[in-house]
């Protein structure tokens, strides 16, 4: 189970940052954990609107609504609730829903809540698993954050940093890396250099890169995503690349585990690396 690999338990508060599968990972955790405790999925940035299905509810608070007025009842009834502020009117670019078969969403963006409100929800809903998408990446596999990103609520005890192995061996360019110029500056490299496993690990572990905004009390797990269990993420062998990245990450800062997954599979977890093992 993905929850076991990431050490996410019912009632935890988890923030997702990075690129390459945040929403899909959150939906997998919702499915795994909702049988054990109600799950609330929200955002401090933006998320796609879900397609409603049995056991899933959507709450939009509007301009002045308080989510706590309705959330306890919805969570007791539906067990899985997606909550946000409102719908955005802007149309989405074509191709945004290429993985809709994994995540049942509509081509509509929802704006989220400020982190202080998410912290209030966390305090008011004990026993509810809280999943928060706290970053945006424009559908790229890796990213460097802007000054205003990510927006991690203080109540999150676990931060899941997501990156796609698809970028390994690709050039450090906008096609593969969101804010490639920022990433190049953090790495001290020119735009266009190959994203070796070592460079990917350096960007993920950089205090102004993948670890930006992570507080001292927050435990960090890195989720390395790939499309197929047996295939290559990019021009380099995926297992070798993932092992190199994981080894480097576990030697740095607060990262305590690295998980390689193929989120489109029934059993997504492929490898788990833990600090000290």
pLDDT tens profile 76-122: 999 999 999 999 877 665 555 545 446 778 888 999 999 999 999 99
Angle between helices 197-205 and 180-187 (to 10 degrees): 90
> What pLDDT shows up at residue 234?
55
> What pLDDT shows up at residue 138?
81
For residues 43 and 53, give the distance between their C-alpha atoms in angstroms, rounded to a whole number: 20
Q: What is the pTM of this model?
A: 0.93
> What pLDDT shows up at residue 232?
47
Query: β-strand 129-133 against 13-18: which pairing, if any?
Result: parallel
Tell me if residue 143 falls in helix, strand or coil.
strand
pLDDT in tens, the chain (277 residues): 999 999 999 999 999 999 999 999 999 999 999 999 999 999 999 999 998 888 999 999 986 789 999 999 999 999 999 999 999 877 665 555 545 446 778 888 999 999 999 999 999 999 999 999 999 888 899 999 999 999 999 999 999 999 999 999 999 999 999 999 999 999 999 999 999 999 999 999 999 999 999 999 999 999 999 986 554 445 568 999 999 999 999 987 789 999 999 998 999 999 999 986 6
For residues 118 and 201, give the distance between their C-alpha atoms in angstroms, rounded to a whole number: 30
Angle between helices 238-250 and 197-205 (to 10 degrees): 40
> What pLDDT shows up at residue 95?
55
> What pLDDT shows up at residue 91?
62
For residues 208 and 179, give the distance between their C-alpha atoms in angstroms, rounded to a whole number: 13
For residues 233 and 171, give the distance between their C-alpha atoms in angstroms, rounded to a whole number: 14
In sequence order, what are the beta bridge partners of 39? 80, 129
Whether 26 contacts 13, CB under 8 Å: no
> Distances in Å between the alpha carbon of 130 and those of 30, 46, 172, 188, 196?
9, 16, 34, 37, 34
Whether 136 contacts 16, CB under 8 Å: no
> What pLDDT shows up at residue 233?
47
Strand order from edge to edge, sheet including 129-133:
56-60, 80-84, 39-43, 129-133, 13-18, 158-164, 219-225, 255-261, 269-274
For residues 241 and 36, give the distance between their C-alpha atoms in angstroms, rounded to a whole number: 35
């Amino acid at each position: 189970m993905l929850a076991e690999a990431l050490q996410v338990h019912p009632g935890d508060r988890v923030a997702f940052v990075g690129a390459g599968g945040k929403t899909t990972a959150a939906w997998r955790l919702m499915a795994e954990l909702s049988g054990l405790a109600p799950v609330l999925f929200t955002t401090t940035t933006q998320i796609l609107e879900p397609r409603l299905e049995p056991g899933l509810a959507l709450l939009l608070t509007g301009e002045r609504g308080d989510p706590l007025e309705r959330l306890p009842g919805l969570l007791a009834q539906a067990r899985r609730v997606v909550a946000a502020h409102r719908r955005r009117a802007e149309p989405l670019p074509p191709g945004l829903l290429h993985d809709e078969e994994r995540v049942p969403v509509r081509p509509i963006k929802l704006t989220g809540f400020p982190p202080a409100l998410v912290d209030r929800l966390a305090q008011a809903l004990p026993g509810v698993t809280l999943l928060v998408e706290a970053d945006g990446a424009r559908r790229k596999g890796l990213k460097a954050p802007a000054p205003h990103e990510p927006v991690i609520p203080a109540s999150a005890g676990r931060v899941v940093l997501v990156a796609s192995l698809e970028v390994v061996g690709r050039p450090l360019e906008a096609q593969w890396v969101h804010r490639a110029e920022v990433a190049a500056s953090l790495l001290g490299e020119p735009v266009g250099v190959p994203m070796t496993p070592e460079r990917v690990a350096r960007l993920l572990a950089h205090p102004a890169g993948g670890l930006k905004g992570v507080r001292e009390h927050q435990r960090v797990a890195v989720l390395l995503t790939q499309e197929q269990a047996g295939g290559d993420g990019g021009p380099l062998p995926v297992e070798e690349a993932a092992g190199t990245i994981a080894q480097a990450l576990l030697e740095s800062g607060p990262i305590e585990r690295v998980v390689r997954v193929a989120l489109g599979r029934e059993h997504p977890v492929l490898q788990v690396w833990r600090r000290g093992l």
